[in-house]
Amino acid sequence: MDTTSFAERDGYIWFNGELTNWREAKVHVLTHGLHYASSVFEGERVYDGEIFKLTEHTERLIKSAQILGFDLGMSVAQINQACIDTIKANNIVDGYVRPVAWRGSEMMGVSAQQNKINVAVAAWVWPSYFDPEARMKGIRLKLSDWKRPSPETIPTQSKAAGLYMICTLSKHQAEAEGYDDAVMLDYRGRIAEATGANIFFTKEGVLHTPTPDCFLDGITRRTVIDLAKSRGIEVVERAIQPEEMAEFEECFLTGTAAEVTPVQCINDYQFTPGSICETLIRDYDALVRRKQAA
């Protein structure tokens, strides 16, 4: 993976209607999105030159903006094309795409009724989110001290930048203690999700996953549920208490970046990546690469 600062890379970023030199795609320090988190984004993967489930991601971007009270002023088709143009301009075959929209710097204050809505799309080469060796044996997670908030306190069904502050805090704390990532409980004390991925558990051949009522129902999450059902694996969406982890056999995360990533432990709870994890990793890879699953 390229370790060069994202501000110092070369290439092109689609910025408000045109491809712009990467290093010139800048915003002012008094941008409303920076100060008041009035920003939404998406994360998309490119496999063999095609963006996986592009339209679903674009539709969610538009919906997230609407939830935050602003209109992107672009159609699904226009945003899709901007994403496609960006990966082509940067010659991305396997990588990551980041569409983002935010309120600009025309007004500075909580109210931003007259601020311009900016839209940009960046893309770069990005391999597996977690170290490949760690992914195969299962990653190590820690329960976070931070909790996913109630839908009555924040727009939890949007992919809004402000929702990720506690994710960064959680992941940093976990990494400082030697873990790969963190698992967050919700405001009721139930299992919610990891910092950037949904979570699944298995018990006696059945998949269990938290009901996404205060966090995103991920596109990869829904994809994996469909793959599991196509294999005849029962999927149960329900409230999951932390102490239930003692009874689960396998655990894995799902997300655009994480794809399907097995988990070996959450705090002292131990899991053994097994046949269900292996099957869904294989099936997901076959789907995104348009291969025939075994």
CATH architecture of the domain with range 6-125: 2-Layer Sandwich (3.30)
**Burial per residue of 17-56, b for 16 or more beta-carbon CB atoms within 10 angstroms, e otherwise:** eebeebeebeeeeebbbbebbbbbbbbbbbeeeebbbbee
Catalytic residue among 88, 116, 147, 159: 159
For residue 268, the one-letter residue type is D
pLDDT for position 133: 59
Please state the φ and ψ torsions of residue 186, each to the nearest 5 degrees. -95, 180
Question: pLDDT tens for residues 111-153?
Answer: 999 999 999 999 999 876 555 556 678 999 999 999 999 999 9
pLDDT 10s digits, 242-269? 999 999 999 999 999 999 999 999 999 9
- Tell me the DSSP string of 148-216: EPPTTTS-TTS-BGGGGHHHHHHHHHHHHTT-SEEEEEETTS-EEEESSSEEEEEETTEEEEE--SSS-
Separation of alpha carbons 79 and 137, rounded Å: 38
Q: Quick check: 288 and 45 in contact, CB under 8 A?
A: yes
Domain-wise residue ranges, the chain: 6-125, 132-288
Q: Could you confirm whether 88 is annotated as catalytic?
A: no
Sign of CA dihedral 242, 210, 273, 54: negative
| Bridge partners, 255 (sequence order) | 259
pLDDT of residue 190: 98
pLDDT value of residue 134: 60
Contact criterion met (CB below 8 Å) for 219 and 256: yes
Q: What is the pLDDT of residue 1?
A: 59
pLDDT at 127: 72
Specify the residue for token string 């997300």: 255
The span from the CA of 249 to the CA of 265, in Å, is: 11
pLDDT beneath 70: ranges in the chain: 1-2, 128-135, 291-294
Nearest alpha-carbon partner for 193 in 211, 207, 172: 211
- Measured distance between the N- and C-terminal CA atoms of the chain, rounded to whole angstroms: 30
State the CB neighbour count (10 A cutoff) for residue 152.
8
CATH class (in words) of the domain with range 132-288: alpha beta
What pLDDT, on a 0 to 100 scale, did the predictor assign at position 142?
98
